[in-house]
Amino acid sequence: MHKKLFIPGPIEVSPEILKAMGTPMIGHRMPEYAQLHKGVTDKLKQLMFTKERVFLSTSSAFGAMEGAVRNLVGKRCANFCNGAFSDKWHNVTLACGKEADAFKVAWGEPITPELVDSALATGKYDAITLIHNETSTGVMSPLPEIAQVLKKYPEVVSIIDTVSSMSALKLPVDELGIDCCVFGVQKAFALPPGLAVFTASEKALERAKGVPGRGYYFDFLEFLAADEKNNTPSTPCISLIYAMDLQLERIFAEGLEKRWERHAKMAEFMRAWVKEHGFGLFPAEGYRSVTLTCASNDRGVDLGLMKKQLGERGFAFDDGYGKIKGKTFRVAHMGDMQLENLKEITTEMEGILQGL
Ligand SMILES: Cc1ncc(COP(=O)(O)O)c(C=O)c1O
């Protein structure tokens, strides 16, 4: 039995998208690919409100996230950490041989503009990593306010993970001044995993030129040279790029404003449901994600049992990530999902809760 995915990625993929993945294969050095590539990157630029380069990486998000630090950290990196993925990014930065410091706040809390300001005011850093939407805790940090602070530090290259938020709300990359914005496609884009997208500003590309040890597979300058020919340095995941092309068409057909509104409504519904059913909201007030709700298990429910019973009813449910497993649960509301779909799982959860 297929379990309908309500975990925060991968997300349920529509049959039309799966069908698009079956489009007959083309060679990536054929003109047909260049046409597909240009169409997809142009649409992505429109979606992300950017005129900068948009690159397609055949990897999961962490490939591009690792690539970003390899290419863009010259002197020292400030990694802002408020959950499992941002903690991991710090470890990845160190594993790439970079000098880096982690600025950690408690899980459930956002990264604040004040924290970013105080770190950068030391003058020690020429790059930062920050996760907009920490999927492990359901916290969305205030990116527009942080972006204002970043404008005070033109020597700093900003590397921002929008892995689980891009397309679900307005994130105007150029206006925010993001130098490198990274996301994977298995979250709010509702595509199968295996493709990551990243932007690179002029400043980012200039930085990359002076940074040694960029490697090959994620070398931004290789991506730049290939992009001149509407291509990628290595063989890309063409089937997924076909799927992305169709998904972008579907996103624009729905309308961006409507898409953002749909995500906001689903988030409101889920937060209200959590409170009405005796649970709490794990993220600090005012910093709650629009793409997933992370609930604190205030009722002390056996979440493992809940997950098992939901599984038997055909629903994939997440009983918390990393050190907050069992203490929290997460329900995703992103991608192609509609409010009615979300109500399917909450109705099942209500039934199960009565019996627990
Ligand atoms: C915010 C965030 N960043 C990074 C990742 C890592 O993505 P991937 O597993 O695609 O490399 C995830 C995965 O859930 C995520 O939620």
CATH number, residue 113: 3.40.640.10
Say what the pLDDT of residue 161 is. Answer: 98
- Closest residue by Cα to atom 7, ligand 1, is 61
Looking at ligand 1, which atom is closest to the CA of residue 186? 10
Looking at ligand 1, which atom is closest to the CA of residue 132? 1
Residue 61, token pair as written in the block: 């998000």
| Domain match, 141 and 279 both | no
| Domain match, 37 and 62 both | yes
Boundary residue ending a domain (252, 287, 306): 252
| Mutation test residue for ligand 1: of 11, 81, 134, 135, the one with most atoms within 8 Å of CB | 135
Q: Where residue 113 falls among pLDDT bands split at 50, 70, 90?
A: very high
**Is 220 a residue whose pLDDT tops 90?**
yes
- Span 296-331, pLDDT tens digits: 999 999 999 999 999 999 999 999 999 999 999 999
Contacts for 355 with CB less than 8 Å, ≥ 6 apart: none
Looking at ligand 1, which atom is closest to the CA of residue 63? 11
- Span 202-213, pLDDT tens digits: 999 999 999 999
Looking at ligand 1, which atom is closest to the CA of residue 62? 11
Give yes or no for a contact between 111 and 82, defined as CB atoms under 8 angstroms apart.
Answer: yes
Say what the pLDDT of residue 356 is. Answer: 83
The Cα–Cα gap between 97 and 213 comes to 9
Q: What is the mean pLDDT of the chain?
A: 98
| Domain match, 218 and 325 both | no
| Domain match, 103 and 143 both | yes
| Domain match, 120 and 205 both | yes
Q: Tokens 């980012």, residue?
A: 204
| Domain match, 206 and 235 both | yes
| Domain match, 169 and 303 both | no
| Domain match, 265 and 128 both | no
Boundary residue ending a domain (221, 252, 283): 252
| Domain match, 128 and 221 both | yes
| Domain match, 126 and 271 both | no
Ligand 1 neighbours by CB, cut-off 6 Å:
9, 60-62, 85, 131, 135, 161, 163-164, 184
- Residue ranges of the annotated binding site for substrate are 330
Contacts for 184 with CB less than 8 Å, ≥ 6 apart: 9, 60, 61, 64, 163, 193, 195, 196, 197
In angstroms, what is the span from residue 131 Cα to ligand 1's centroid?
10
Compute the average pLDDT of residues 257-270: 98
Say what the pLDDT of residue 326 is. Answer: 93
Compute the average pLDDT of residues 7-25: 98
100-104 and 77-81: which strand pairing?
A: parallel
User: Residue 46, Cβ neighbours under 10 Å: how many?
Assistant: 13
Q: Tokens 């083309």, residue?
A: 26
Q: Where residue 266 falls among pLDDT bands split at 50, 70, 90?
A: very high
In angstroms, what is the span from residue 62 Cα to ligand 1's centroid?
6
Say what the pLDDT of residue 197 is. Answer: 98
CATH number, residue 350: 3.90.1150.10
Give the full edge-to-edge strand order of the sheet including 328-332.
280-281, 292-296, 328-332
Boundary residue ending a domain (252, 281, 302): 252
| Domain match, 217 and 315 both | no
Give yes or no for a contact between 136 and 85, defined as CB atoms under 8 angstroms apart.
Answer: yes
The residue segments making up the domain with residue 138 are: 15-252
| Domain match, 19 and 124 both | yes
Q: Where residue 269 falls among pLDDT bands split at 50, 70, 90?
A: very high
Q: What's the structural domain count of the chain?
A: 2
